[in-house]
Amino acid sequence: MLADARNASHYRDWVEHITSDETKDALRFLIGLLAEDERYTCYPQRKGEVRDFRCEDDQGDAPFAFVTNKGSLLFHFRQPALRANHWSRALLEDHFDSLHENARGELTVKLRSIADVRRLWRLIGPGSAPFRSGATPTTQIGYVNPHNQRCEGHRGVAGTDHLQVVYRMACQLPGCGHVYGTNGTDVFERKCPYCQDGKPSIAF
């Protein structure tokens, strides 16, 4: 047991509450990753029958939380995380088929295995640089071009055109939601490579 861990007695209860060995391992793995992440202060807490786990930043906000259920960990992208515009619905749908929006407007995903936790950590862990807007109106996060393709920002990755960076795009057409990369100069006219026969994606 970690010394001075807040509500330390809850950890065993959380593990014993889970019925799946895979999900028990996922819980242990996720807590280990959070324990070494200096960006957040993390702790378990009981809210009635809910086994809640909070991650607070240095401003006292809790961008992430998860609930330990019998068969999965229900991970919440809370409003402080969503306001940062780093994790869009399209991005999360591309990684998790369990994505759901709750009544508070939070996005949730179910983690059932270590593989699920690894996939999550690639999105939120240290080194997962946030996406940011460009300098022009058409490269702002949230801009939607005439072909219903939404700009989701860039991470500074060099593009394939001269002096360009790669922007992540998300198709807004119903039934698609494809996520792909394009040069900043193409954002305003880009078509989806999946459903509109647009140019192939480049790595973002």
The string of pLDDT tens digits covering residues 1-31 is: 455 788 888 999 999 999 999 999 999 999 9
Q: What are the tens digits of pLDDT across the range 183-198? A: 999 999 999 999 999 9
CB-based burial of residue 113 (10 Å sphere; 0-12 exposed, 13-18 middle, 19+ buried)? middle
Predicted pLDDT at 1: 46
More confident residue, 204 or 159: 159
Predicted pLDDT at 33: 93
Q: What are the tens digits of pLDDT across the range 136-190? A: 999 998 999 999 999 999 888 889 999 899 999 999 999 898 989 999 999 999 9
Distances (CA, A) of 110 to 19, 66, 203: 15, 9, 27
pLDDT of residue 76 exceeding 60, the answer is yes
For residues 105-121, average pLDDT: 94
Q: What are the tens digits of pLDDT across the range 119-130? A: 899 888 876 667
Whole-structure pTM value: 0.65
For residues 56-61, average pLDDT: 85
pLDDT of residue 114 exceeding 50, the answer is yes
List every span in the chain annotated with CATH 3.90.1150: 10-124
CATH number for the domain running over 10-124: 3.90.1150
